[in-house]
Structures are given as structure tokens and as C-alpha cells.
Chains A and B, each alone.
Chain A
Amino acid sequence: MTTTPLAVRADRAWWRVPQRHVPVLATFVLLLVMYGVGVSQYRAFSNIQVIFNIFIDNGFLLVVAVGMTFVILTGGIDLSVGSVVALTAMVSASLLRDGLDPALVLVIALLIGPTLGLAMGCVIHFFDIQPFIVTLAGMFFARGLCTWISSTSIPITDGFWTSAAQERIRIGENFVSVSVLIALAVVAVAAIALAYTRLGRNVYAIGGNPQSALLMGLPVGRTKIAVYTISGLCSAIGGILLSFYTLSGAPLIAVGMELDVIAAVVIGGTLLTGGSGYVFGTVLGVLVLGVIQTLITFDGTLSSWWTKIVIGALLFAFILLQRLVGIRKK
């Protein structure tokens, strides 16, 4: 809540900036302030590796949040992401345990998410049922499948997986993991797709006003189904990254992740009504969550639940800001 005046100040000082950029800029300013606080309080915080670690720890979250950005931009919501992430990790772990070829496992695991997303998108579009309910059912379904596969955690010992998990790519004195590069690649592809392709324009148009989009002759149905498929694909990639990170598949992993993802997207300045927002904002939103966690870890005296309270407060501040910007537009 303390961030509201700051955010408003950013809004006034940058009044020449197009209003649709204001939420993203506010997030950026907040991120810089939080990082500055960290650097001024803890000497070790200024180490570049801290930033890299935020990416390493949140790579999977970033990928899933990018998929969610597509869905939210069309005015929908996807609650199934956390379960699909868990399901992907679970399926890869169990198939690897059965001795399947890693390449084949990768393909199968990457197909689950999009298939489920496609199915949910079709139900949402053809039968006109609210995305909230359909993806909620998808969430239950995927989570149920996880436990059905195994009720306990399955470790991954496969050579390809462990080497992907432990590989350190050196950048000067510091390092990142393979997951970070994959996550950044996904971000780049998604940003280009949203900004410069027909699909991207359709997504914004549908989020802005589905009725007008339909009257303009845009393929509303196809785009809607596509965004849920994209979100499913991103969740599947996120699941693979998570299995790299934890080197196991556990049935109860990533429970409640959809909330973190939605929070990151909203903090990143994407409007939940759809039609306005950027992938770059989502990246900033994920980083904000990552910096909060790092700050709490560095402090050491704050308990983990403060993360939730701070995220709630930030959500409040950003939604208020979006609201203020929205009023001015009128």
C-alpha cells in the first residue's frame, strides 16, 4: 500500500507517456525501488548473481505467466496452469522411470499441456461455458491425474535431465541455468508473436471487444481456442523446467501456482478485462515477486507468510493504479 503514492507520482511525472504504458512503467519503478532497498540494506544483494538467481528460481513461473498473459489479454482466465505444470513434471518423471528415451518423453510431456488447453478452449468456445468453470474443471482433472499416476514423489535420475539441471552457463563470473535461456526464449517468441503477428493483433482485438472483433470478421473462435492451447503449451514447458529445477515429479507440487501467476500478470500491468498489457510487463511482474521473496530470504527474520501479505498489498496498489488510469481515459 505504501507504493500507491509512488506509482501515482510516476504517472504524473511521465504524463507524456501513452497511458497504456503507465502500469508497466509503474511496475518498473517499483522493481527498481525494491532492488535499491535491497542493495542499500544488504551488501550481498548487489551481486549480479542475485538477479540471475531470481531468474533461475522463477524460470518456470515466467514461462507459465507468459502463457497466462495471452489468456488474460483475451479477457479469459486459466486456473488449470498449476495442475498442468505438475502433471507434465509427473508424466515425465514416471515415463523416465519406466526407461523411455528422454527425447520421446520430452515430446509426450510437451503434448499433454496443449492437448488439455485445446480441449478446454473448445469447450469454452463451442459450448459457451465460462472460462473460470471450465479451467477449474481442468485444474481438478490434471491434479487428479497426477495422484492417479503416483501418490508419492518420483525422483528423476535420467542423464539428460540431470545434465540439463546441473549445467551452468557462465556469463563472466556468474552463471545461469539452461532453464533461464529456455524461459527467455519463450518470452522473446511470445513478445514478438503478440506485437507483430496476426494472432497477436487478434488477441488484443478480442480482449478489447469480442463483439466488434467478430463483426470485423476476425476469427474469434479460433483465436480463443488458440490462447488456451498456448497457455497449455507454456504450462507444459513450465512443467519441464520445474522438473529440471526439482529433478522429480511430485503430485502436490505447484499447488496454488495459478494465483502467483495471475498476480504476476496483474502486477505487470495487464488488465484482467483484457485488451491491454504486454509480455514485458509480465516479466517485470514475475521479477517483482522474485525480488520480494529474495528480500524476505535476505532479511531472515520475516516469516514466509509476509510474502503473501506483501503480494496482496501490491495487487491492491496496482489495481488501484489501473483503476485511476482507466478513469482518466474516460
Chain B
Amino acid sequence: MSTVKARLAPVTGHRLFWPLVMLVVLLVANTVYRPSFLSVELKNGHLYGSLIDIVRLSAPLILVALGMSLVIATGGIDLSVGSVVAVSGAVACLYISEQPDQNSLGGVFTALALAFGIALLLGAWNGVLVAVIGIQPIIATLILMVAGRGLAQLITSGQIITINSEPYKTIGVGHLLTLPFAIIIALVVTVIVAVLTRRTALGMIIESVGGNAEASRLAGVRSRRITLLVYVVSAACAAIAGFMMTANVSSADGNAAGLWVELDAILAVVIGGTSLAGGRFFLSGTIVGALIIQTLTTSVYAMNIDPQTALLFKAVVVIAVCLIQAPAFRARFRRRKSLAPPPAPTAEKQKEQVPA
């Protein structure tokens, strides 16, 4: 028993272990409920299946959560991503809806560029509030979270803008090389962010700013510029997610688009093992976290449970993952185990090892 435990220690100790266990448990539960869950088939040169669907639907969340990881790594938080999603989607759809030919590529690209530019401005606004004026991130972004939602409704005049544009629709539901286009976009952005942060010093600089902004400034890092940058990146990611979400339904709803996405994104980041205190970030963990959230949502839909009741499951998963990862909880758990008579802990141990 002890040798097994010793051998498993590096595995169970890995920060991705518990999130991955959770993901596997969810997938197994789905397969038990519906055996066809794992099947993926090729139709008309496109891949179809529940697994592909989950990844496709989690693409926007992955994007938002990537930006959020960087913001959280600097010790900040970005509550405004949901509003940025709504604003960027609204601007793009409004511009396209006013085009004479909604299918023209040029028009769609202009719309995307325009919306993307506005999102960058919103990100810069957040960044200036946090980095230059020195407002607490949670409050600074709360301003845009509240006002941005109003702004999005102002842009859409409080109505749902419906568009009929094939090129725009492709962003959400199109295919490229057998894979859904949304997955490819998420993949490309992930690779870009990962390479830029982990193959250059940028990632370490971001973490050092999160660890101690003043110390890293004294060490020669331009802390303010880095802080400003992460908010802009976060808004940029949110904008792309906004394009995906609105393209999915070919309409922009200033009120509902991206509602609560900031909470899901923060959850994904935390489930992935990144501490809200800042100083570290794990992109792989964030992606696993986003996949867990989407798998949970999809399986709840598949099991015919009311989407709102699904929040109950989300609450349980969040608390479970956070508790397992909390050092204080682990310490308490361990102390109790060492206090208990010997037979009890082995029983606990067996339970622990089952999922591995």
C-alpha cells in the first residue's frame, strides 16, 4: 500500500491531477448515462459527436479564461469581460446588419476590425484605471461591467440585432479541416498566448508583477505597462469570444450575450489551480477548467435537468475542487488522518486512489 502511495505521490500531487480526475469522472458519468457519448463520426468531411460539441462550445469560455488567467496572474481580476463580449458582438452585428451585402468578406472583416478596436479601447480603459490611477482591479472592472452592459444595449437600441451573413456565421459554426472553426480559433489563440508567455520572458514578468508589483518595478520591470497590457489582452480575448457567441446564434443581444461569462471564466482559472492572489498562472489548468465547466453544462442538458438547476451542480463542483486544492483544507484533512486509528486512514486512502 505504502509503495503504491509513494509511487502515486508525484501524480496525485500534480496540480492538474484533481481537475483532470473531475473531468474524467464527468465524462465517465456521461458515458454510463448514454453509451454513445464517446463516439465521434465523420459526416461530409466534418467531425461530429458529443465530445467535439463540448470542445466547440467551450471555445469562447477558453478564450475568455485565457485572458483572465493573465489578469489574475498579475493579482488582478477582470469582471468586465462579459460586457466586452456583449459590446464587441453588438458592434460587429450592427455594422454587418447595415451593409447592403451582408455576405461580403470585406464588410465582415471591417466589422470585426471595428469591434476588435473598440474592445481594445475598453481593455485599455480598464488597464489605465488599474495601472495608472491605481484603483483596485475588482472595482475598476466593475465600472465597465455595469456601464458596458448598458453600452451594449445602447448600441443595439435594446433590441436583438439579427444578421444573415455566411462569413460571420463561419466563426461560430463553420468547419475547417474537418474540425469546427471555433476550435481552431481557440487553439490558435491558445498557442499564441502560450508561446508568447512561456517561450519568452513575458510570462515570468507577468508573474513577477503579480508577486510584487513594486519589487518588480525596482528590478527593472515596467509593471504598469505589463498590468495595462494584460487588461488589453483580456479584452481582446473577450472580443473574439463575443464574435463566436454572436456568430453561433447569428444575432446580438446586448442584454444576454456573455452574461455571467466572467464568473465562469474566473471559475475555470481557479479550478485550473491558479490562485486569485496572483503571482502564478497555469494555462493548461485553465483550459482543463473551462472544459470541466462546459462538460458539466452539456451533461446537465443531456440529462434533461433544468439549466438553472445545473447551477446547483456547478456550486458543488466549484466548492469540491477549491476545497481539495486549498492548503488549509488539506492540512486539516491530513491532521485528522494522523489522529485517527490506523485502519481508518487506509480506508480513506483506498477511496482516494480509485479514480487514479
A315 to B44 CA separation, bound complex (whole angstroms): 53
Q: B133 near A320 (CB under 8 angstroms)?
A: yes
B310 touches A312 (CB 8 A): no
Interfacial chain B residues near A303, Cβ < 8 Å: 153-154, 157-158
B136 and A272 contact, CB distance less than 8 A:
yes
Interface string of A278-317 (1 = CB under 8 A from B): 0000000000000000000000000111111101110110
Minimal Cβ-Cβ distance residue in B for A316: B143
- Interface contacts (Cβ under 8 Å), in number, total 134
Residues of B contacting A144 in the complex (Cβ-Cβ under 8 angstroms):
308-315
CA distance A202 to B334 in the complex (A): 32
CB of A141 within 8 Å of the partner chain: yes
- List A contacts of B276 (CB < 8 A): 130, 132-133
A193 at the interface (CB under 8 A from B): no
For residue A262, CB closer than 8 A to chain B, the reply is: yes
Assess whether B318 is in contact with A146, with CB atoms less than 8 Å apart.
Answer: no
CB of A145 closer than 8 Å to a CB of B: yes
B310 touches A128 (CB 8 A): no
Tell me whether A126 and B315 are in contact (CB under 8 A): no
* Chain B residues near A132 (CB-CB < 8 A): 77, 138, 266, 276
Any A CB within 8 A of the CB of B342: no
Residues of B within 8 A of A48 (CB): none
Measured CB to CB, the closest approach of chain A to B157, in angstroms, equals 8
Tell me whether B139 and A319 are in contact (CB under 8 A).
Answer: yes
**B interface: dominant SS:** helix
Closest Cβ of chain B: how far from A254's Cβ, in Å?
Answer: 14
Docked-complex contact A266 and B139, CB < 8 angstroms: yes
Which positions 265-280 of chain A face chain B at CB distance < 8 Å?
A: 266, 272-273
Does B146 belong to the interface (CB within 8 Å)?
A: yes
A140 at the binding interface (Cβ < 8 Å): yes
**A323 touching B133 in the complex, CB below 8 Å, given contacts A127-B323, A311-B146:** yes
A 129-143 binary contact with B (CB < 8 Å = 1; else 0) = 110111011101101
Q: Is A263 interfacial (CB-CB < 8 Å)? A: yes
Contact present for B266 and A315 (CB under 8 Å): no
Instruction: Specify which chain A residues have a CB less than 8 angstroms from the CB of B316 in the assembled complex.
Output: 141
Q: Is the CB of A319 within 8 A of B135?
A: yes
Residue of A nearest to B325 (CB): A129
A137 touches B146 (CB 8 A): no
- Which residues of chain B come closer than 8 Å to A263, judged between CB atoms? 142, 146
On whether the beta carbons of A133 and B327 are closer than 8 Å, the reply is no
Which residue on chain B has the smallest CB distance to residue A143? Answer: B311
Check: B150 CB closer than 8 A to any chain A CB: yes
Contacts A144-B314, A263-B146 known; A309 to B135 CB distance under 8 Å? no
Restricting to B278-335, which residues have a CB under 8 Å from any CB of A? 306, 308-316, 318-319, 322-323, 326-329, 332
The CA-CA distance from A316 to B80 in the complex, in Å, is: 14
**Which residues of chain A in 8-52 are interfacial with respect to chain B, using CB atoms and an 8 Å cutoff?**
none
Find chain A residues with CB under 8 A from B329 CB: 127
Interface residue? B263 (CB, 8 A): yes
Range of interface residues on chain A? 35 or more
B171 CB-CB contact with A under 8 Å: no
Query: By the criterion CB–CB under 8 Å, are A313 and B147 in contact?
Result: yes
Query: Who on chain B is nearest to A80 by CB?
Result: B315
Query: A323, B134: Cβ atoms under 8 Å?
Result: yes
B146→A147 contact, CB < 8 A: no
* Assembled-state Cα–Cα distance A148/B238 (Å): 32
Give which listed residue, A138, A141, A251, A315, contacts B139 with CB less than 8 A.
A315
Give chain B interface residues in 106-148, CB to chain A under 8 Å.
Answer: 129, 133-136, 138-140, 142-148
Instruction: Report A142-158 CB contacts with B as 1/0, cut-off 8 Å.
Output: 01111110010000000
Asked whether B56 is an interface residue with its Cβ less than 8 Å from the other chain, the reply is no
Q: Cβ of B254: which chain A residues have Cβ within 8 Å of it?
A: 305
- A306-B153 Cα distance, complex, nearest whole Å: 9
Q: Does B270 contact A (CB under 8 A)?
A: yes
Asked if B151 is at the interface (CB within 8 A of a chain A CB), the reply is yes
B146 with A148: CB separation less than 8 A: no
B147 and A312 within 8 A (CB):
yes
- Asked whether, in the complex, the Cβ of A308 is within 8 Å of the Cβ of B146, the reply is yes
Shortest distance between the CB of B134 and any CB in chain A (Å):
7
| Structural contact, A136 and B308, CB atoms closer than 8 A | no
Docked CA distance A128–B326 (Å) = 7
Q: Does A259 contact B (CB under 8 A)?
A: yes
Given contacts A128-B328, A143-B311, A319-B135, contact A305 B150 (CB under 8 A): yes
Q: Given known contacts A137-B319, A144-B314, A319-B139, what 4 new A-B pairs fall within 8 Å (CB)?
A: A127-B323, A133-B270, A144-B313, A272-B139
12 pairs from A and B in contact (CB 8 Å cutoff) = A123-B319, A127-B323, A127-B332, A132-B138, A141-B312, A303-B158, A305-B254, A306-B150, A311-B146, A316-B147, A319-B140, A323-B133
